[in-house]
Structures are given as structure tokens and as C-alpha cells.
Amino acid sequence: MRNPDPGGLRPLAVLLDLDETLVVEDASVEGAFRAVADVAAARADLDPAALAVTVRRRTKEIWWGSGDAAFAYGRRVGVSSWEALGGALAVDGGPLASWTVGFQQEVWATALLDHGVEDLALAEELAERYPEERNARQRAYPDAAPALAALAAAGHPYAVVTNGAPGQQRRKIELSGLADRLPVVVVSGDVGAKKPAAAPFEAALAALGVVADRAVMVGDSLEKDVAGAQSVGIRGVWINRSARARDGEVVPDAEIAGLAELPGILA
């Protein structure tokens, strides 16, 4: 990517998405569901692989069918159904914490019933177990810490810009071992709006003290990260770890297959 100001006073600032950019989300969520389903299968006559599928579907259905304040907040700041099941809305405390317990138990009780198992005590146990299994799988991609170290060494100011509940996103950073490398973190839940809205990007630029055309945004979502950044004048870098095909509507300014390629495109 061409630096528009190669003789500029400071290197480009870099904004980074969190989930599936710096830290593993999809595989960890899948692993947590399977681990809890295995617990269920040890206690009841059911197929754990099938339960893992059913409970994900029920999580979405019950989350999206919920009309209450927890869902409204979660939708506004970009909390996914499976993050809500993992306790994302409970980390910050308050009324969302008690709502979370009811949501978690309803999901697991309903999914068990789908498999002919009526057992509220087991549902409560699985509801408690899922956040534990999810948190046990909070980890950074292996290229994350080296890439952040390279950015720091080259003098690039950088910040995380992530959607979600503040406590949950910061806990992910801590549990994945990146907290020391990420002093500036902007979470949609703190800003009140989620990517692709302008507010989270503008908050990150303000925190770093840079203007939009001196920054790039790196993320795995073409819509939320790339298009969102471009809409406020930040160049969008698409990190495409799994060689996905790009839909034709959003055109990133650059594409990388992993964070090891990041220093090269900033030069």
C-alpha cells in the first residue's frame, strides 16, 4: 500500500479488529460447544455432535427472539448470541448479569429438550460450564504478538477497535495474553455504537491523536472493518486467514493472509 506521505513526520497508525484478527473466535467457540456437549452426553442419552449443533441454533433463536433490554444493548454494540451465552453481558455486572443466567439456562434446557432430555439441573450445570470452556479457549493467533511487537518497533501508533461488551472484550485480551501489548482498546460498548458506524473508528483516531488519512484499519470483516473504516476515510486492510472469496461490493485497499504480512504493506 502506498504511503501518501512517505516523508511524513510519523509512521501510519494502525487500527486492528480483535475477533478473528488478533484472537481466535470461531474455532474456540466451536470447541467450547463440543466440550459442553460431551459433558451432557456423559450424563444423558444423546449424541454430543448433534447437541452441539442444536444448542447453537437455539442460542441464536432465543437471543434474536428476545425483546428485552439486554438484547437491545447487545444488538446495539455488537454482542453475538454465542457471546451472550458465554456471559459477555454479565462481565460488566448490573442487571445484565442476572438476565444472563436466565438466558443461559433457557438455551441449554431447550436444547436438551430437543434431544428428549428434560433435566433442569443438567441444564444449569451446562449453562455454567459453557463460559468456563469458552474462557479456557481464549487465545491469540500465533502471528498476533509478533506483529504487534513489529508495529511498536517501527513506531506505528496502534489500537484495537472491536465490537462487543467492554468487560468481555478486555477479558479476551487478558486471557489471550495480549494485554501488555494493547494499551489502547476501543470497544463499541464504551462508545455506544458498533462498527461499521463511524464512532468507534473516530474514537480510536482521537485516542491515538491521528487523522483518518494517516491510518489503516485491519480486520476480517469486509463490511464492519473494511467498509466501516473506508467510510470515514481510513484505508481498509482485509485479513483473510481462510482464503475466503470476496464478495464484489466492498473492495479493500489491501488484502493479507495473516498478520506477518502487515509490516510489508505499511512500508
Q: Return residues touching Mg ion (CB under 5 A).
A: 17, 19-20, 220
Cα–Cα distance, 140 to 117 (Å, whole number): 36
In the complex, least distance from residue 227 CB atom to Mg ion, rounded to whole angstroms? 13
Cell of 21: 484478527
**Scanning the structure block, which residue is given the C-alpha cell 475466503?**
244
Give, in degrees to the nearest 5, the angle at Cα 63 between 15 and 52.
Answer: 90
The Cβ-side half-sphere exposure at 50, using a 13 Å CA radius, reads 9
Phi and psi, residue 239, nearest 5°: -95, 120
State the nearest-atom distance from the C-beta of 140 to Mg ion, in Å: 13
**Nearest CB to Mg ion, comparing residues 20 and 133:** 20
CB of 220 to Mg ion, least distance (A): 4
Cβ at position 25, least distance to Mg ion in Å: 7
Which is nearer to Mg ion, 48 or 78 (by Cβ)?
Answer: 78
CB 163 within 8 A of CB 77: yes
Nearer to Mg ion, 10 or 246 (CB): 246
Cis peptide upstream of residue 196 (ω within 30 degrees of 0) = yes
CB of 217 to Mg ion, least distance (A): 11
Pair type for strands 158-162 and 185-187: parallel
Please say which residue, 17 or 83, places its beta carbon nearer to Mg ion. Answer: 17
- Residue 19 CB, shortest distance to Mg ion, in Å, is 4
Provide, for the chain, the percentages of residues in helix, strand and coil under a 3-state DSSP scheme, each rounded to the nearest 5: 55, 10, 35
As a whole number of Å, the end-to-end CA separation of the chain is: 8
Please, which residue, 36 or 143, has the CB nearer to Mg ion?
A: 143
In the complex with Mg ion, the residue whose CB is nearer, 19 or 143, is 19
Q: How many CB atoms lie within 10 A of CB 39?
A: 16
